[in-house]
Amino acid sequence: MQENIITRFAPSPTGYLHIGGLRTALYNYLYARKNKGKFLLRIEDTDLKRNSKEATKAIIEAFKWCKLDYDGEIVYQSERFDIYKQYIQKLLDEGKAYYCYMSKEELEELRLKQEKAKERPRYDGRYRDFKGTPPKGIEPVVRIKAPLSGEIVFNDGIKGEVKFKVEDILDDFIIARSDGTPTYNFTVVIDDALMGVNNVIRGDDHLSNTPKQIILYEALNFKIPKFFHVAMIHGEDGKKLSKRHGATDVMEYKSMGMLPQALLNFLVRLGWGHKDDEIFSIEELKELFDPYHISKSASSYSFKKLEWLNTHYIKTLSYDELNFELKSLDFDFDDINKGNFLLNLLRERAKNLFDIINGAKSIIELPKDYDKVAVQKFITEKNLEFLAKFCEELKDQNSAKDFEEFTNEFLQKYELKLKDLAQPLRIALTGNAVSPSIFEVLEFLGVNECKKRIKAFLEKRK
């Protein structure tokens, strides 16, 4: 019988949601959905000093924007301290953990001694089997009794067999601080086990945490999950992705006019692929994604690739889907007469949603001023003369085809070329020399509005 796949995403709310984090969430989400399992969201907010309510809100907002639904309620670690205390006490009672009364001075003295001997800094286990009277004035930490020798081995779904030599990486690490608060590795193990998480897909910056967590799983008699450690995202220069390579905050991409469909498609391909395919809908990904096929190598971030995907989705989404995303940026084509026509007109040349919004505004609104560079380049006395005649002769045209036929006849009549009229006409109608097909702009505005705008432009040129 196949195991019910349960995955999770567990961000710390000390800052915005990084796109690397969103990729991790996406991989976990897709694996759970493909297998009709569960995808859980846990907020790791035990660092009470550094936590931010705004960051928590931003994480949830990013999930909503990307339409990544999770199962059940969000789990907040800050509400689970009593549970952690129970399991710390259980390990103490079973002799698998112990109180360590080492003072700061003792710890500093040990570190200096190890440094001088060029040894790896580590706790020396001096209170591991302590039976005496606890020293006064010391609030003890709780340490796990880690193995003293041997190897910790596990089979990673991406990296294959991974071995850690105990002497090289481990000591009796702390599971509860002197104030009683649990440490990161401890809370992760407790929560993953109690939430039933059996597949953990995470960044390989967590690889060094895995042996510590395996020790805790075994000490608590919990089943160890399957681990998948994903290589980092690098910039095109091969260095770890940072702000100098572009936006790293997920919601910054929304403010740049990127579509969530494009961002998710972009992120899933940073480390995973299917044949030579580039375009995947979320439904296709739920069928195709397999974490065992994630690359072992770091992936390279390319904004040009993201922009290319964004352009694709702008062109191919349905009117309702595209307008839904535009509404989230406070622009609604449903409020515009012939809005569907205008959106389809603008989407063909747009790289982001603001190209559409700004393009729509320049067509809908009567120009208040005109691009000086465009005017200087395209407007002459002769052009103004023909623009006036064009306005005068415009009559009952309705469709773009009608306007095109009329314009061709007009150009023949006065022995002109389209470039002599098209750019001056664009400037008069929209305020600049960039727009979709001039004939479709004429159709959208209609004869009366076009005449009004041309006359207004001509009046300002006097």
Q: How far apart are CA 396 and CA 431, in angstroms?
A: 24
The secondary element (H helix, E strand) that includes residue 162 is: strand 160-165
Residue with tokens 């009366």: 448
∠ Cα 178 181 185 (to 5°)? 110
- Strands in 177-336 per DSSP E: 199-203, 226-230, 233-234, 299-300
Cβ-Cβ contacts under 8 Å for 420 (sequence gap 6 or more):
383, 386, 411
Cβ-Cβ contacts under 8 Å for 164 (sequence gap 6 or more):
151, 152, 153, 170, 210, 211
Known binding-site residues for ATP equal 243
- Strands in 15-131 per DSSP E: 38-43, 75-76, 97-100
CA distances from 91 to 43, 157, 218 (A): 25, 30, 11
Beta bridge partners of 154: 162
The secondary element (H helix, E strand) that includes residue 7 is: strand 6-9
Quick one: tokens of 182? 């649990």
CB 8, CB 226: distance < 8 Å: no
∠ Cα 206 179 191 (to 5°)? 40
| Dihedral, 428, 434, 440, 446 alpha carbons, nearest 10 | -20
Known binding-site residues equal 243
Sort 442 into a burial class: Cβ within 10 Å, 0-12 / 13-18 / 19+.
Answer: buried
Beta bridge partners of 155: 161
Q: How far apart are CA 317 and CA 256, in angstroms?
A: 18
